[in-house]
């Protein structure tokens, strides 16, 4: 009898999908921080699929505690992304999302990741007071002051909500730069910023203005008031 052999050809797939791209949607400015205005509920996550993703591939998305898997449909491939939600981090905590894609041959893509730290605690702008005397030669120094209770954040800047009456407010002791409600003023490392008030000639009394502090995450404090008191002096009358 005759014997024979049969040859078989096998296609071995060793090329995995590309890495998916992960975006925490609340971090719209992609600064790695979630402030009070950006997140108040769950964290919405979008995973953008690589160009070589196919229906039937398995997408795995995890925040390190909860893991979600999606067998991709043609609808998701056509859309180009998968949306899902995760529990938000606690204030001061960091949410890190990791996603990977496995094809039908078992090849696994490189991981895509995104992370953001939540800071939804507002800074506190403190009421401040300054004083001087009528017609003094140098301006009255008004030191804005604020604090931020969340470690790692800190007061970043100040904004003026108004300007004082009966004088002029400057940002420098030489009185060359006018203060403005349209500007943002960078805070010193101790959470302060100094302004300089020059009362109108021969004026005395009380005036002031309001301001807010902004922390590194973009949270804005409640409004605080800076009070200025100018004490009257007796005018010297020449001999007649």
User: What pLDDT, in 10s, does the model give residues 185-225?
Assistant: 999 999 999 999 999 999 999 999 999 999 999 999 999 99
The pLDDT of residue 124 is above 60: yes
Whole-number pLDDT of residue 239: 46
Whole-number pLDDT of residue 149: 81
Whole-number pLDDT of residue 228: 98
Non-local CB neighbours of 158 within 8 Å, separated by 6+ positions = 125, 144, 146, 184, 185, 187, 193, 211, 212, 213, 214
The pLDDT of residue 10 is above 60: no
Whole-number pLDDT of residue 151: 62
Measured CA to CA, the distance from residue 155 to residue 187 in angstroms comes to: 7
Q: Are 9 and 44 in contact (CB under 8 A)?
A: no
User: What pLDDT, in 10s, does the model give residues 130-184?
Assistant: 999 999 999 999 999 999 986 667 899 999 999 999 999 999 999 999 999 999 9
| Average pLDDT value for residue range 12-37 | 89
Q: Are 25 and 44 in contact (CB under 8 A)?
A: yes
| Average pLDDT value for residue range 105-134 | 96
The pLDDT of residue 240 is above 90: no
Please state, for a pLDDT cut of 90, what percent of the chain lies above it.
Answer: 85
User: What pLDDT, in 10s, does the model give residues 68-94?
Assistant: 999 999 999 999 999 999 999 999 999
Question: Per-residue confidence at 16, pLDDT binned at 50, 70, 90?
Answer: confident
Measured CA to CA, the distance from residue 214 to residue 193 in angstroms comes to: 12
1-5, 62-66, 216-220, 236-240: least confidently modelled range: 236-240
């Amino acid at each position: 009898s005759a014997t024979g052999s049969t040859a078989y050809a096998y296609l071995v797939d060793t090329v995995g999908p590309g890495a998916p791209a992960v975006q925490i949607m609340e971090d719209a400015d992609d600064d790695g921080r979630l402030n009070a205005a950006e997140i108040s509920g769950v964290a919405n996550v979008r995973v953008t699929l690589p160009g070589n993703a196919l229906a039937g591939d398995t997408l795995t998305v995890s925040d390190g505690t909860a893991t979600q898997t999606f067998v991709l449909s043609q609808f998701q491939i056509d859309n180009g992304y998968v949306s899902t939600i995760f529990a938000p981090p606690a204030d001061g905590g960091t949410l890190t999302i990791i996603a990977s894609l496995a094809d039908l041959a078992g090849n696994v893509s490189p991981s895509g990741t995104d992370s953001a730290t939540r800071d939804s605690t507002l800074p506190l702008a403190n009421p401040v007071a300054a004083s001087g005397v009528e017609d003094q030669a140098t301006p009255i120094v008004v030191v804005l002051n604020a604090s931020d209770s969340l470690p790692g954040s800190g007061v970043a800047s100040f904004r003026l909500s108004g300007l004082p009456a009966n004088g002029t407010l400057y940002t420098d002791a030489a009185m060359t730069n006018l203060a403005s409600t349209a500007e943002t003023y960078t805070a010193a490392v101790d959470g302060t910023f100094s302004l300089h008030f020059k009362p109108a000639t021969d004026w005395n009394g009380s005036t002031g203005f309001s301001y807010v502090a902004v922390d590194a995450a973009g949270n804005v404090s409640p409004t605080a008031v800076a009070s200025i008191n100018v004490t009257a002096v007796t005018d010297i009358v020449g001999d007649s």
